[in-house]
Amino acid sequence: MNAHIKNVEYAVRGELAIKAEALRDQLNKTNSLPFKTIVNCNIGNPQQLQQKPITFFRQVASLCDNPDLLLSENRHIVSQLYPEDALQRAEVLLEHIGSVGAYSHSQGIPHIRENVAKFIAERDGYAADPENIYLTQGASAGVQSILSILVKDKSTGILIPTPQYPLYSATLSLLDATPVPYLLDESQDWSLNVTDLETSVSTARANGTDVRALVIINPGNPTGQCLSEENMREIIEFCYTQQIVLLADEVYQTNIYEPEARPFHSFKKVLMSMDSIFHDLELVSFHSISKGMIGECGRRGGYFEAHAIDPEVMSQIYKIASVSLCPNVHGQILVDLMCQPPKQGDPSFEKYSQEIGSIYSSLRRRSRKLEACFNSLEGVTCNPAYGAMYLFPQIRLPAKAIADAEAHGKAADNFYCLEMLDATGVCVVPGSGFGQKEGTWHFRSTFLPPEDLFDDFCENLTNFHKQFMNKYRD
């Protein structure tokens, strides 16, 4: 068997998640557990936790699936169920797609890539070329393709943050490449220090590692930080000087909870606003339909924009995309809708805005409520989430808990999270699944449980934590 696969770790769906599934099965059969339901806070999966899909998006998607609804003989019935702009959008899409059941262009449907390019241009104020855009099955598939192309062998190093979303470490294990970790500074709201980056690179290079790319997740996962424009400029200069490809995971770009103090800037925009010598920097930016206020995770849709990438590499990217034939067309359609939602004056605009606005403000409220909850717990500190969907509190555990965990062959944070799951049904992910500074313990929790259950959710966590601390108090 492939030995690299044995080394892969992916805690988001690891031991805790598998145990949570088993407990859910048990709950369905008996009522013998101290909680009524499993709450999956291990993964950013909003629609699993009752977040409603955006009506307009689903209307268009369903019309594309069933084009009989667009036939003129059905129009008088269908127009009682669908607004005019949904019907029109589906017609335009089908004109370009043909059938959603056909393989599309391997790079993604040209019309949809044009709409992505328009979206990027409107967002950044700088043009984007549809030829540089690849539609993908979620951002994950894009990240995996790009890493597989950048990695030559074990000698290739890729800079990844600590803590990081484990897609990166898992993919590097699979490719047998060398992760080169750099630390995010918890005491400075998880900011990124370019001096530390330089140290990581020079140490790795001194050890013979060919450092080729830097992964930045902004807004951060699991950390929720949102980089300042100034910090981004430093990073771009660093990559340019060091001849390092910048991989910008920007899937949480609309999950921004302090838009005045900590707005989102895309790396593409910051790059283009700098002196033109920097415009040659190789940059790949990833986006997804799974996050934001959309949360269409199950469709597996996303895109990446490849900026200033070597043409030879671009042709290899195309070839690799073509072996998998094409990204699924349903995901592509949602990318189109995400990039070109209803506009002011369209029949669906008001409903669309109201839905997006209500999900957004609820996420913001929940993020703050959970942050306050965590900060109220003994031995726990938690930075705010300026962006994304997660909090990553630090937990200072009693020595007895750490010793007991060791006796069970578990990392202390894993031990804590397993006890939390057993006591409350809440499934989170131990910090060790993301990487953390030596000697510290964390966990990642989404703040996605439904708002009407949120007070209970916080109360359960608080009670569990008190009991845990009392049980293991030295």
Residue 87 beta carbon to a copy of itself: minimum distance, rounded to whole angstroms: 13
Task: Tokens 């800079």: give the residue.
Answer: 159
Contact stretch for a copy of itself (CB under 8 A) within 326-334, 357-365, 378-386, 432-440: 326-334
Q: How close are the terminal C-alpha atoms of the chain, in Å?
A: 46
Say if CB 474 and CB 399 are below 8 A apart. Answer: yes
**170 touches a copy of itself (CB under 8 A):** yes
**323 touches a copy of itself (CB under 8 A):** yes
**325 touches a copy of itself (CB under 8 A):** yes
- Which residues, numbered 141-160, are part of the site for a copy of itself (CB under 8 A)? 141, 144, 148-152
Task: Determine which residue in the list 22, 77, 121, 399 makes contact with a copy of itself, applying CB under 8 A.
Answer: 77
Q: How far is it, in rounded angstroms, from Cα 357 to Cα 254?
A: 11
| Assigned token pair, 230 | 């100034």
Bridge partners, residue 183, by sequence: 162
- Which residues, numbered 99-118, are part of the site for a copy of itself (CB under 8 A)? 99-106
> Largest Cα–Cα distance of the chain, in whole Å?
76
**324 touches a copy of itself (CB under 8 A):** yes
Compute φ and ψ for 52, nearest 5 degrees. -80, 140
Say if CB 233 and CB 278 are below 8 A apart. Answer: no
Interface mask toward a copy of itself for 171-200; x: CB under 8 A: x--x--------------------------
Cis peptide before 163 (omega within 30 of 0): yes
CA atoms within a 13 Å half-sphere pointing along the CA-CB vector of 410: 18
Kind of pairing, strands 191-192 and 178-185?
A: antiparallel
Interface mask toward a copy of itself for 6-45; x: CB under 8 A: x-x-x-xxx------x---------------------x-x
**362 touches a copy of itself (CB under 8 A):** no
* Overall size of the chain counted in residues: 474
Residue 97 beta carbon to a copy of itself: minimum distance, rounded to whole angstroms: 8
Nearer to a copy of itself, 316 or 462 (CB): 316
**300 touches a copy of itself (CB under 8 A):** yes
Task: Determine which residue in the list 132, 137, 223, 367 makes contact with a copy of itself, applying CB under 8 A.
Answer: 137
**75 touches a copy of itself (CB under 8 A):** no
Nearer to a copy of itself, 394 or 414 (CB): 414
Measured CA distances, 242 to 120, 195, 239, 339 (Å): 27, 13, 5, 33
Task: Determine which residue in the list 23, 62, 94, 155 makes contact with a copy of itself, applying CB under 8 A.
Answer: 62
Task: Determine which residue in the list 292, 331, 425, 449 makes contact with a copy of itself, applying CB under 8 A.
Answer: 331
Residue 38 beta carbon to a copy of itself: minimum distance, rounded to whole angstroms: 13
CA atoms within a 13 Å half-sphere pointing along the CA-CB vector of 361: 5
Residue 408 beta carbon to a copy of itself: minimum distance, rounded to whole angstroms: 21
**244 touches a copy of itself (CB under 8 A):** no
**217 touches a copy of itself (CB under 8 A):** no
Task: Determine which residue in the list 194, 313, 356, 403 makes contact with a copy of itself, applying CB under 8 A.
Answer: 313
**63 touches a copy of itself (CB under 8 A):** yes
| Residue in 322, 330, 253 with CA at minimum distance from that of residue 297 | 330
Residue 338 beta carbon to a copy of itself: minimum distance, rounded to whole angstroms: 12
Residue 100 beta carbon to a copy of itself: minimum distance, rounded to whole angstroms: 5
- Which residues, numbered 405-444, are part of the site for a copy of itself (CB under 8 A)? none
Q: How far is it, in rounded angstroms, from Cα 469 to Cα 474?
A: 9
Give buried/exposed letters for 125-150 (b at 16+ CB in 10 A, else e).
Answer: eeebebebbbbbbbbbbbbbbbbebb
Nearer to a copy of itself, 200 or 288 (CB): 288
Nearer to a copy of itself, 94 or 402 (CB): 94
Compute φ and ψ for 249, nearest 5 degrees. -85, 100
Q: How far is it, in rounded angstroms, from Cα 436 to Cα 171?
A: 19
**322 touches a copy of itself (CB under 8 A):** yes
**85 touches a copy of itself (CB under 8 A):** no
Interface mask toward a copy of itself for 40-59; x: CB under 8 A: ---x-xxxx----x-x--xx
**96 touches a copy of itself (CB under 8 A):** no
| Assigned token pair, 106 | 């391997």
Residue type, 151: V
Kind of pairing, strands 39-40 and 133-136?
A: unpaired
How many residues sit close enough to a copy of itself to count as binding (CB under 8 A)?
78
Nearer to a copy of itself, 148 or 381 (CB): 148
Q: How far is it, in rounded angstroms, from Cα 419 to Cα 426?
A: 10
Compute φ and ψ for 293, nearest 5 degrees. -95, 5
**78 touches a copy of itself (CB under 8 A):** yes
